Amino acid sequence: MVNAIKHGNRCDGQKQLRISFCVDQDCFQICIEDEGQGFDPNAVPNPCSADLLDIPCGRGLLMMRHYMSEVSYLEPGNAVMMVKKRCGCE
C-alpha cells in the first residue's frame, strides 16, 4: 500500500486506492490498485546490485516477491495481485 500511495498516486490526497481481498483456508489473496499511470516492474532497478546496496529504500518489490507465493501486475501496471498460500499448499 505504501508503494501505491507514494509511487502510484504520488502522495496525492485526492487519489484513492482500491483494495480487495479474499481469505480461505488455503490462501490469502489481495489486489491493490492505485490511480497512477502504472509502471513496468521489470524496469525497476535490482536493489541487490552493488551500487544500490547502501540506499535505504527501493526494496518493496523484492520483499513482495520474497514473502508472497505469487505476485502479478495487472495492465497498465497500476494494480498488483498477491497471493500467500498456507504452508503445504504450494
Convert the pLDDT of each residue in 75-89 to its tens digit. Answer: 999 999 999 999 875
Predicted confidence band of residue 36 (pLDDT cuts 50, 70, 90)? very high
Three-class secondary structure of residue 76 per DSSP: coil
How far apart, in whole angstroms, are the C-alpha atoms of residue 65 and residue 71?
A: 6
Residue bearing the bigger pLDDT, 6 or 87: 6
Domain count, the chain: 1
Residue 77 lies in a domain: yes
What average pLDDT does range 60-83 have in this prediction? 96
How far apart, in whole angstroms, are the C-alpha atoms of residue 64 and residue 31?
A: 13
Note the pLDDT of residue 50.
Answer: 92
Residue 9 lies in a domain: yes
| Alpha-carbon distances of 49 from 13, 39, 40, 61, rounded to whole Å | 33, 20, 19, 14
Residue range(s) defining the domain that contains residue 21 = 2-85
Residue 17: CB atoms within 10 Å: 14
Asked if residue 32 has pLDDT above 90, the reply is: yes
Asked if residue 90 has pLDDT above 70, the reply is: no
Q: What is the CATH number of the domain that holds 18?
A: 3.30.565.10
Q: pTM for the full model? A: 0.86
| Alpha-carbon distances of 53 from 40, 48, 88, rounded to whole Å | 21, 6, 33
